[in-house]
Amino acid sequence: MTLQEIFDKVILHLRRQHVVSVCVFGACAYRGDEGRQCAIGCLIPDDEYDPNMEGNNVQLLTNCPTLVALLLQGEDWGMLLDALKSLHDDTMDIEGIFGTATRVAAVGIAQHFYLNQEALHAPLQ
């Protein structure tokens, strides 16, 4: 996946879901209650997900071939994944929804990585 494809997939996912993915303890989760997924969780195929991933940094998820392949593409991929995880875990968690502060932070991520921002404005299906 390109950086643009990752950004688009994650942003569209978070906009559709509209709320954070948390576990029963209230902590952000790759796969949370009610089938929710965080920014990184939506990139993990079901057959690669393991509950033991929870609580670990994305760079430590070496048992997930999809994420390993993305991280091996270069430093920018790891930095983008970290930024999108932070968007969900920090900005979105404070707001509780994909609101104004989350949108502003997403614009900043897009600008930093020279990505187009169409996913922030595209109609949701």
Q: How far apart are CA 122 and CA 125, in angstroms?
A: 9
Per-residue confidence (pLDDT) for residue 93, from 0 to 100? 72
Assign 79 to helix, strand or coil: helix
Per-residue confidence (pLDDT) for residue 23, from 0 to 100? 87
Q: How far apart are CA 110 and CA 125, in angstroms?
A: 22
The total of other beta-carbon atoms located within 10 Å of residue 84's CB is 26
Q: What is the mean pLDDT of each run of 10 residues along the chain (125 residues)?
A: 98 95 88 94 97 92 94 95 94 82 96 98 90
20, with CB counted inside 10 A (0-12, 13-18, 19+), is buried
Give exposure, 41-76, as e/b (b: 16+ Cβ within 10 Å).
bbbbeeeebeeebeeeebeebeebeebeebbeeeee
